[in-house]
Amino acid sequence: MITTEQQQWLDHLSDTETVTIVPWDPTCENKFLQIKKQIQDLLGQLQAVEHRGASSLKISGQDEIDIYIPVLSEEFDRIVNHIANLFGNPRSNYPLKRARFVTSIDGKHIDIFVINQNDNGWIDSEKFNELLLANHSMLDEYRKLKENASGKNVRAYYKEKIEFINKVLSQTKSDK
């Protein structure tokens, strides 16, 4: 099931551009560490900087690295402004929720998100990540979903991903 907010986000995605899925790239971790160092040099070593997404799970994905900077809502705008000094203006900004920046290393696309650590989207994504890491068969199912999505349009790809994530999260809630 897709929430109203998720559907609104899906509706802004392309239904003509297609997704290409590639095998996991073992250079991702080193590239993540380079960006993490830049961010922590700016914000301090105590600032959490998390590698997430397919590259952190070591599965096939869109040939990109997702990096998250979880912050308190009262720090959100300040951190967004600091990150803009490193990576330019955000490509998207949902105030007090998440801001996305884009950079690259050696041609590798990197999305950097300043994210409100108390937002349900972040909390749920962390639960989902933990569940995948703890359950090899679930991780393998997710990998296959991604690999089978290569060539689909962007909206259809993300719809399938969101439905899978929602299904996994609802199963764990009903197990409690």
> What single string gives the DSSP state of each residue in 75-96?
GHHHHHHHHHHHH-S-SEEETT
Give per-residue burial for 56-68: e unless 16+ CB within 10 Å, then b. bbebbbbbbbbbb
Dump pLDDT digits (tens) for 10-66. Answer: 999 999 999 999 999 999 999 999 999 999 999 999 999 999 999 999 999 999 999
Q: What is the pLDDT of residue 171?
A: 86
Alpha helices in 1-153 (DSSP H): 4-11, 28-43, 54-57, 76-87, 120-134, 136-148
pLDDT of residue 166 exceeding 90, the answer is yes
Dump pLDDT digits (tens) for 93-123. Answer: 999 999 999 999 999 999 999 999 999 999 9
The whole model's pTM is what?
0.93
pLDDT of residue 175 exceeding 90, the answer is no
CATH topology of domain 4-15+27-170: Beta Polymerase; domain 2 (3.30.460)
Delimit the domains of the chain by residue range: 4-15+27-170
Dump pLDDT digits (tens) for 137-160. Answer: 999 999 999 999 999 999 999 999
Q: From the CB of residue 89, how many other CB atoms can be counted at a distance below 10 Å?
A: 9
Going by C-alpha positions, the residue among 73, 84, 71 that lies closest to residue 114 is 71
Q: What is the pLDDT of residue 176?
A: 54
Q: Distance (Å, rounded) from C-alpha 38 to C-alpha 45?
A: 10
